[in-house]
Amino acid sequence: MCGKGLVGRSAHRNGHRHKYYSCSSRANHRGCKLPFIRADIVEVLVLEEIQAIFRKPVLLQRIWDLVNKQLQADRPSILTELDKVREDIIKAKFGLERYFGAYESGVINDETIQARVAELNLRVQQLEDEKVILRIN
């Protein structure tokens, strides 16, 4: 065994699909001797291990604590990113107002404003969605 990760594979024989895992080195023809592992067997074992974790409150609490610690470590960068998204929303809305002003004064035509307003409205919506995701984190 070379220590590389396993990758999911499948093969078709006799009209059946057989799923298995193999070493990524072996899949790239680099000579790892780890045998193929049937997916139906290993996936049951993995699921049982995951279920066992959820039956152990101490282990579950440890995982919870580690995740919260990581989230707190990431919090300053998330807040910075949230501020940037808010600024970008303000800029996009200001851009919309500029285009409306240019249209009202006759500087740009219908086609130009329609295309640009659609782009800016889409950008504002994407930023609003991003803001929601950042707030969840």
pLDDT tens digit string along 25-83?
Answer: 876 666 788 888 999 999 999 999 999 888 888 988 998 899 989 888 878 888 889 99
Domain count, the chain: 2
Query: Residue 1: inside a domain, yes or no?
Result: no
Residue 30 shares a structural domain with residue 75? no
Q: What is the mean pLDDT of residues 90-117?
A: 93
Query: Residue 104: inside a domain, yes or no?
Result: yes
Residue 26 belongs to domain spanning: 6-54
What radius of gyration do the chain's Cα atoms show? 27
Residue 79 shares a structural domain with residue 67? yes
The whole-model pTM stands at: 0.46
Contact yes or no for 54/60 (Cβ under 8 A): yes
- As given in the structure block, the two tokens for residue 23 are 């070493």
Query: What's the rounded Cα separation, in Å, for the pair 97 and 117?
Result: 10
- DSSP letter at 137? -
